[in-house]
Amino acid sequence: MTSEQTLQTIIVGTRGSLLATTQTAQTVRAIQNSNTDVHIETKIIQTTGDLRRDVPFASVGTKGMFVKEIEQALLDGAIDIGIHSMKDMPGELPSGLQIACIPERENPFDAFISNGFSDLDSLPIGATVGTSSARRRAQISRYRPDLKLIELRGNLDTRLRKLDDGAYDAIVVACAGLKRLGLETRITSCIPPEVCLPAVGQGALAIETREMDLTTIECVRKVHSEQTARCVLAERLVLTALGGGCSVPIAAFATESNSRLTLTALVASLDGSTLVSTVETGASVDFASIGVRAASSLLDSGASDLLAHS
């Protein structure tokens, strides 16, 4: 084959932010390198979350705010693949679509970034911390109730600029995005999961396709990571069972070692005053039942009351 006209063409849909286009380009290269008979084109799609960037997440409604327009383009046949940050994916997908591939996960933890302080513990009483995440706000408020948490929206470069301009004493963002953009030197410290448990799927990407597009599925599966998938799918089962995408802070994080999978999950009130958590473990092959058990344990421990007040 000597020309693009003789190759299979795959159209990839992605958000237009610098992070989204960067991680999409990295993923496209990996798919291309594994499929020399494929030509890949990228299409930028504006999502609700991008168009309403200056509005607090709670006012927009977080369920699918960064993915639903891309999913509609998939359903309409305008694109063949949607590439998303896994943590943006709702617990349930539209009929006819599937997550066909989950590449190897990047750093899953939250990054503490400050120009004057080393970590959350070193911040003075009343210090201002910028974050857009209800999950982070709840857990940080529980750990340091004296801190002043302020809404922080915008792309990563915008958030870093606001910090550098002195609007905050510190900000909290995902380590993965900084690393993918080559900005890991801005990470002052990683927040341990005991302090701030990551979002479901944080650090992982989701490659979404139509369920019956077998040719495209075969192409993307070549960059799939089984271990990452087991961990992430266990986390997502918690999200799905709890009615994923609601405004209540939900976190889940799984690790795998020696064919054993350990899943920690929690649900909290928005102010962090109430929090229920669980740890489930078992054989890695039983990742699905581990996720279901974790969700059941949370519900039995009071998560249902927190969810009912969302």
Active site (catalytic) residues: 88
Length of the chain: 310
Report how far residue 226's alpha carbon sits from residue 104's, in angstroms, rounded to the nearest whole number: 8
- What are the Cα distances from residue 35, in Å, to 27, 67, 156, 307? 12, 26, 32, 44
Pairing of strands 81-85, 8-14: parallel
120 is written with which tokens? 């959350």
82 and 101 Cβ atoms separated by less than 8 Å? no
107 and 165 Cβ atoms separated by less than 8 Å? no
191 and 120 Cβ atoms separated by less than 8 Å? yes
